Structure 1
Amino acid sequence: MTLRLDLIPHADVVPEGGYSSTGGLRALRTPASRRGVLRGMALSALTLGTLSLTWGDRKAHAETGPGGLEGWDRNDCKDAYPQGYEEDKDTGGQFRTAAGACFGGEFRSSEYCANGWHRSGTFGAEVYATVSSSCSGKNAWKWRTPDGRVYRCSDGNLTVTKNGTTNTYFTICRALVR
């Protein structure tokens, strides 16, 4: 069936025999116009479509970072820590005074991050390397703090050679996601 615009009646033309009132809109002070009804339908569809995006339990999927690093796109690491964990405060960096978000590592700081993931490479006397062994083979996971912010906790190692002595530390990069 083809829609023909010439068959749609005009709003200001009364059909032969007049209108028969259903009484459904009698409580309105002004009668509804076609534009008003269409606007209401469009807003309802937009609201329903937007609301449907929040329904259901979205499955977690691994996000991929620089160099093919995989990390959890959810707020836990239940595979590695089934009972959860108590977040540790950062030992340095811009979130040192913020609520704890990451767990483990000898040091936790935003200073170990590059583009939201743990640094990799040599910088002066420091060598950074990423690891994927602490969270079921993933390098990072996301964590939501009580203030609603979401952080990525990305695992790595920092190796420092000083005065002929080399030490390697397990470090956590804490980066703000949103």
Structure 2
Amino acid sequence: MVVGNTHGRTRVRAVGDPAQAVELAVRLVAEGVDRIELCGSFGAVWHARVARAVDGRAPVGAIYYGFESLTPIAAYKARFEAGEVLSDAFLVVHEGADPVADRVVHAKPGGGRVTLVAVPDEETAARVAAELGPALQLIEFYGVGGPDAAERVIEAVSPAGVPVGVMAFAGP
């Protein structure tokens, strides 16, 4: 997924193995990318490795889960590892984005889907999360950092028990 407008460009990339993220991040920073954000499945070890590899040339963030998400994210992980096909959403804040036009839905074989939605702000992210939440087992929230940015998204899906990953950045 690529979202581009007068406010800049956001690109979503996938790798087959966490080690590939190191090489990809170094290459992207060399091309001028000014911020890297990693999926929650990378964890702290790969977050640190990618941050070291780009050596301060761009901030490197990764998704982490707050205490309110620990039980549902553990259940998600167990179901995923058992081979269950689950539905996830990745919300990306990109100024000027249109959450209807800037949306990609990928149906997974055997059911479930991955939904990527670019939203212009945190308020819209909360509305989209509430809309999608009942059909999801996971939300990750990109393009903003910390609990203040994610609070409304977490509250929008807490009745459904959907874990929400929050962006945190490595380094000083």
* TM-score for the superposition, normalised by structure 2: 0.24
Higher RCO, Cα 8 Å, sep 6+: 2
